Protein backbone atom coordinates (compact mmCIF):
# COMPACT_ATOMS: atom_id res chain seq x y z
CA UNK A 1 0.00 0.00 0.00
CA UNK A 2 1.18 3.56 -0.55
CA UNK A 3 1.97 6.11 2.16
CA UNK A 4 2.53 9.84 1.87
CA UNK A 5 4.47 11.77 4.46
CA UNK A 6 2.90 15.20 5.02
CA UNK A 7 4.96 16.46 7.97
CA UNK A 8 7.42 14.90 10.42
CA UNK A 9 4.46 13.74 12.55
CA UNK A 10 1.73 13.21 9.96
CA UNK A 11 1.31 10.65 7.20
CA UNK A 12 -1.53 9.00 5.30
CA UNK A 13 -1.65 5.44 4.02
CA UNK A 14 -4.05 3.69 1.69
CA UNK A 15 -6.66 2.15 4.00
CA UNK A 16 -6.35 -1.63 4.36
CA UNK A 17 -8.05 -4.20 6.64
CA UNK A 18 -4.86 -4.44 8.73
CA UNK A 19 -5.86 -1.11 10.35
CA UNK A 20 -9.25 -2.37 11.49
CA UNK A 21 -8.56 -2.98 15.18
CA UNK A 22 -7.02 0.44 15.83
CA UNK A 23 -9.50 2.28 13.61
CA UNK A 24 -12.43 0.59 15.34
CA UNK A 25 -10.99 1.51 18.72
CA UNK A 26 -10.76 5.18 17.63
CA UNK A 27 -14.31 5.05 16.24
CA UNK A 28 -15.72 3.47 19.38
CA UNK A 29 -13.93 5.96 21.65
CA UNK A 30 -15.35 8.87 19.58
CA UNK A 31 -18.86 7.52 19.07
CA UNK A 32 -20.61 10.42 20.76
CA UNK A 33 -18.41 13.05 19.10
CA UNK A 34 -18.91 11.61 15.60
CA UNK A 35 -22.66 10.97 15.96
CA UNK A 36 -23.35 14.67 15.79
CA UNK A 37 -22.61 14.71 12.04
CA UNK A 38 -22.09 11.15 10.76
CA UNK A 39 -24.99 8.75 10.13
CA UNK A 40 -23.25 5.36 10.14
CA UNK A 41 -22.12 4.90 13.77
CA UNK A 42 -24.86 2.43 14.72
CA UNK A 43 -23.75 0.14 11.89
CA UNK A 44 -20.24 -0.17 13.34
CA UNK A 45 -20.38 -2.37 16.44
CA UNK A 46 -17.15 -4.38 16.22
CA UNK A 47 -13.68 -4.42 14.69
CA UNK A 48 -15.09 -6.96 12.21
CA UNK A 49 -17.49 -4.31 10.89
CA UNK A 50 -14.55 -1.93 10.38
CA UNK A 51 -12.52 -4.72 8.73
CA UNK A 52 -15.34 -5.41 6.26
CA UNK A 53 -15.62 -1.70 5.51
CA UNK A 54 -11.87 -1.41 4.86
CA UNK A 55 -11.86 -4.50 2.64
CA UNK A 56 -14.63 -2.92 0.58
CA UNK A 57 -12.56 0.27 0.27
CA UNK A 58 -9.64 -1.74 -1.13
CA UNK A 59 -11.94 -3.29 -3.73
CA UNK A 60 -13.38 0.10 -4.68
CA UNK A 61 -9.85 1.53 -4.94
CA UNK A 62 -8.84 -1.34 -7.25
CA UNK A 63 -11.83 -0.55 -9.46
CA UNK A 64 -10.90 3.14 -9.56
CA UNK A 65 -14.15 4.12 -7.84
CA UNK A 66 -12.76 5.69 -4.66
CA UNK A 67 -9.59 6.40 -2.69
CA UNK A 68 -9.72 5.92 1.08
CA UNK A 69 -6.75 6.83 3.29
CA UNK A 70 -6.04 6.34 6.98
CA UNK A 71 -4.46 9.27 8.78
CA UNK A 72 -1.59 8.72 11.21
CA UNK A 73 -0.50 11.36 13.71
CA UNK A 74 2.73 10.50 15.49
CA UNK A 75 2.21 6.90 14.44
CA UNK A 76 -1.34 6.57 15.82
CA UNK A 77 -4.50 6.47 13.73
CA UNK A 78 -6.18 9.89 13.96
CA UNK A 79 -9.01 9.46 11.44
CA UNK A 80 -9.72 8.87 7.79
CA UNK A 81 -10.34 10.81 4.60
CA UNK A 82 -11.44 9.74 1.16
CA UNK A 83 -12.52 10.47 -2.30
CA UNK A 84 -15.77 8.67 -1.55
CA UNK A 85 -16.61 8.82 -5.20
CA UNK A 86 -14.54 9.41 -8.30
CA UNK A 87 -16.46 10.24 -11.43
CA UNK A 88 -13.94 9.40 -14.14
CA UNK A 89 -16.21 10.52 -16.98
CA UNK A 90 -16.51 14.06 -15.69
CA UNK A 91 -13.24 14.24 -13.71
CA UNK A 92 -14.97 15.02 -10.42
CA UNK A 93 -14.00 13.66 -7.00
CA UNK A 94 -16.03 14.05 -3.82
CA UNK A 95 -14.19 14.18 -0.48
CA UNK A 96 -15.35 13.13 2.99
CA UNK A 97 -13.46 12.90 6.31
CA UNK A 98 -13.45 12.54 10.07
CA UNK A 99 -10.96 12.82 12.92
CA UNK A 100 -11.02 11.62 16.50
CA UNK A 101 -11.88 14.50 18.83
CA UNK A 102 -8.43 14.52 20.41
CA UNK A 103 -6.90 15.16 16.96
CA UNK A 104 -9.03 18.23 16.21
CA UNK A 105 -7.61 21.73 16.21
CA UNK A 106 -4.15 20.87 14.87
CA UNK A 107 -4.62 21.49 11.14
CA UNK A 108 -4.41 17.77 10.38
CA UNK A 109 -7.45 17.51 8.10
CA UNK A 110 -6.64 20.67 6.19
CA UNK A 111 -3.22 19.18 5.34
CA UNK A 112 -4.75 15.83 4.39
CA UNK A 113 -7.40 17.36 2.13
CA UNK A 114 -4.76 19.52 0.44
CA UNK A 115 -2.81 16.33 -0.29
CA UNK A 116 -5.90 14.46 -1.52
CA UNK A 117 -6.48 17.24 -4.03
CA UNK A 118 -2.92 16.72 -5.29
CA UNK A 119 -3.53 12.97 -5.54
CA UNK A 120 -6.74 13.63 -7.45
CA UNK A 121 -4.98 15.90 -9.86
CA UNK A 122 -1.95 13.68 -10.37
CA UNK A 123 -3.41 10.18 -10.49
CA UNK A 124 -7.05 10.67 -11.50
CA UNK A 125 -6.77 13.77 -13.71
CA UNK A 126 -9.57 15.39 -11.73
CA UNK A 127 -10.65 18.83 -12.87
CA UNK A 128 -13.00 19.43 -9.95
CA UNK A 129 -13.02 18.41 -6.28
CA UNK A 130 -16.19 18.69 -4.25
CA UNK A 131 -16.85 18.72 -0.50
CA UNK A 132 -20.36 18.69 0.97
CA UNK A 133 -20.85 19.72 4.59
CA UNK A 134 -23.95 19.98 6.75
CA UNK A 135 -24.88 23.64 7.10
CA UNK A 136 -24.28 23.70 10.86
CA UNK A 137 -20.97 21.81 10.70
CA UNK A 138 -18.76 24.85 10.90
CA UNK A 139 -15.53 22.94 11.61
CA UNK A 140 -16.05 20.89 8.48
CA UNK A 141 -17.00 23.90 6.37
CA UNK A 142 -13.86 25.71 7.52
CA UNK A 143 -11.69 23.15 5.70
CA UNK A 144 -12.79 23.86 2.10
CA UNK A 145 -13.06 27.54 2.96
CA UNK A 146 -9.44 27.54 4.23
CA UNK A 147 -8.30 25.81 1.05
CA UNK A 148 -9.93 28.25 -1.36
CA UNK A 149 -12.86 26.10 -2.44
CA UNK A 150 -15.85 28.10 -3.65
CA UNK A 151 -19.31 27.80 -2.17
CA UNK A 152 -21.55 26.61 -4.99
CA UNK A 153 -24.89 26.40 -3.24
CA UNK A 154 -27.11 24.63 -0.73
CA UNK A 155 -28.80 21.28 -1.16
CA UNK A 156 -31.92 21.17 0.97
CA UNK A 157 -32.58 18.08 3.17
CA UNK A 158 -29.64 16.32 1.57
CA UNK A 159 -28.87 13.86 4.38
CA UNK A 160 -30.62 12.13 7.24
CA UNK A 161 -28.50 11.81 10.37
CA UNK A 162 -30.54 9.74 12.86
CA UNK A 163 -33.62 11.82 13.63
CA UNK A 164 -32.55 14.99 11.78
CA UNK A 165 -32.38 16.12 8.19
CA UNK A 166 -29.42 18.29 7.26
CA UNK A 167 -29.02 20.70 4.38
CA UNK A 168 -25.65 20.44 2.64
CA UNK A 169 -23.38 23.29 1.68
CA UNK A 170 -21.59 22.36 -1.52
CA UNK A 171 -17.99 23.54 -1.94
CA UNK A 172 -15.85 22.90 -5.00
CA UNK A 173 -12.38 23.59 -6.30
CA UNK A 174 -11.63 23.70 -10.01
CA UNK A 175 -8.16 22.27 -10.36
CA UNK A 176 -6.93 22.93 -13.87
CA UNK A 177 -8.26 25.53 -16.22
CA UNK A 178 -10.54 23.96 -18.77
CA UNK A 179 -10.44 25.30 -22.28
CA UNK A 180 -11.77 28.82 -22.01
CA UNK A 181 -12.19 28.44 -18.24
CA UNK A 182 -10.34 29.36 -15.09
CA UNK A 183 -9.08 27.17 -12.25
CA UNK A 184 -9.62 28.25 -8.64
CA UNK A 185 -6.17 27.40 -7.38
CA UNK A 186 -4.21 30.44 -8.47
CA UNK A 187 -3.39 32.04 -5.12
CA UNK A 188 -5.34 30.48 -2.32
CA UNK A 189 -4.35 26.85 -2.45
C1 LIG B 1 -14.60 18.09 10.49
C2 LIG B 1 -13.30 17.82 11.25
C3 LIG B 1 -12.44 16.85 10.46
C4 LIG B 1 -12.56 19.15 11.41
O5 LIG B 1 -11.43 18.97 12.22
P6 LIG B 1 -10.46 20.23 12.56
O7 LIG B 1 -9.46 19.76 13.52
O8 LIG B 1 -11.29 21.42 12.87
O9 LIG B 1 -9.77 20.52 11.14
P10 LIG B 1 -8.21 20.59 10.86
O11 LIG B 1 -7.57 19.31 11.25
O12 LIG B 1 -8.04 21.06 9.49
O13 LIG B 1 -7.72 21.68 11.90
C14 LIG B 1 -8.15 23.01 11.83
C15 LIG B 1 -8.00 23.61 13.20
O16 LIG B 1 -6.63 23.52 13.58
C17 LIG B 1 -6.08 24.84 13.70
N18 LIG B 1 -4.75 24.75 13.09
C19 LIG B 1 -3.61 24.60 13.79
N20 LIG B 1 -2.58 24.50 12.96
C21 LIG B 1 -3.07 24.61 11.70
C22 LIG B 1 -2.48 24.56 10.42
N23 LIG B 1 -1.17 24.41 10.25
N24 LIG B 1 -3.28 24.64 9.33
C25 LIG B 1 -4.61 24.80 9.46
N26 LIG B 1 -5.22 24.84 10.68
C27 LIG B 1 -4.45 24.74 11.78
C28 LIG B 1 -7.06 25.74 12.98
O29 LIG B 1 -7.02 27.04 13.52
C30 LIG B 1 -8.36 25.05 13.29
O31 LIG B 1 -8.73 25.25 14.62
P32 LIG B 1 -9.94 26.24 15.04
O33 LIG B 1 -11.15 25.76 14.31
O34 LIG B 1 -10.03 26.05 16.51
O35 LIG B 1 -9.49 27.58 14.58
C36 LIG B 1 -13.59 17.23 12.65
O37 LIG B 1 -14.21 18.19 13.48
C38 LIG B 1 -14.49 16.00 12.61
O39 LIG B 1 -14.03 14.92 12.29
N40 LIG B 1 -15.78 16.15 12.95
C41 LIG B 1 -16.72 15.03 13.03
C42 LIG B 1 -16.97 14.36 11.71
C43 LIG B 1 -17.37 15.34 10.64
O44 LIG B 1 -18.04 16.31 10.88
N45 LIG B 1 -16.93 15.04 9.40
C46 LIG B 1 -17.23 15.88 8.26
C47 LIG B 1 -18.52 15.52 7.66
S48 LIG B 1 -18.81 16.58 6.24
The answer to whether position 182 is within a domain reads: no
- The residue contributing the CA closest to ligand 1 atom 40 is 98
Strand order in the sheet with 150-161: 3-7, 10-14, 67-73, 76-87, 92-99, 128-134, 164-174, 150-161
The answer to whether position 184 is within a domain reads: no
**Could you tell me the residue range of the domain that residue 140 belongs to?**
3-174
Ligand 1 is surrounded, with C-beta below 6 A, by: 34, 37-38, 96-99, 104-110, 133, 137, 139-140, 142-143
CATH code (residue 65): 3.40.630.30
Q: Span 108-121, mean pLDDT? A: 97
Whether the model pTM is above 0.85: yes
The answer to whether position 12 is within a domain reads: yes
Mutate-to-test residue for ligand 1 from 80, 104, 155, highest number of ligand atoms within 8 A of CB: 104
- The residue contributing the CA closest to ligand 1 atom 42 is 98
Question: Quick one: pLDDT band at residue 183, thresholds 50, 70, 90?
Answer: confident
Question: Quick one: pLDDT band at residue 177, thresholds 50, 70, 90?
Answer: low
Atom of ligand 1 nearest to the CA of 100: 39
Q: What is the pLDDT of residue 161?
A: 96
Q: Span 92-105, mean pLDDT? A: 98
The answer to whether position 156 is within a domain reads: yes
Round the average pLDDT of the chain to a whole number and report it: 94
- Count Cβ atoms below 10 Å from residue 2 Cβ, excluding itself: 9
Mutate-to-test residue for ligand 1 from 36, 41, 106, highest number of ligand atoms within 8 A of CB: 106
Q: What is the pLDDT of residue 41?
A: 96
Our count of domains for the chain comes to: 1
The answer to whether position 79 is within a domain reads: yes
The answer to whether position 35 is within a domain reads: yes
Question: Quick one: pLDDT band at residue 156, thresholds 50, 70, 90?
Answer: very high
Q: What is the rounded distance in angstroms from the CA atom of residue 124 to the CA atom of residue 118?
A: 10
The answer to whether position 187 is within a domain reads: no
* pLDDT tens-digit series, residues 49-81: 999 999 999 999 999 999 999 999 999 999 999
Query: Of 67, 92, 107, which Cα lies nearest the Cα of 175?
Result: 92
The answer to whether position 181 is within a domain reads: no
**pLDDT above 80 (res 14):** yes
Amino acid sequence: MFSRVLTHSLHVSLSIPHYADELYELTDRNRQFLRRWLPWLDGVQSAEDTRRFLALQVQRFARGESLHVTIFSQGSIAGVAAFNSIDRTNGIGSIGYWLGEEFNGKGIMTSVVRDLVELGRTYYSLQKVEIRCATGNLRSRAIPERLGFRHEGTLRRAERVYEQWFDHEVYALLIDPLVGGQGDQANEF
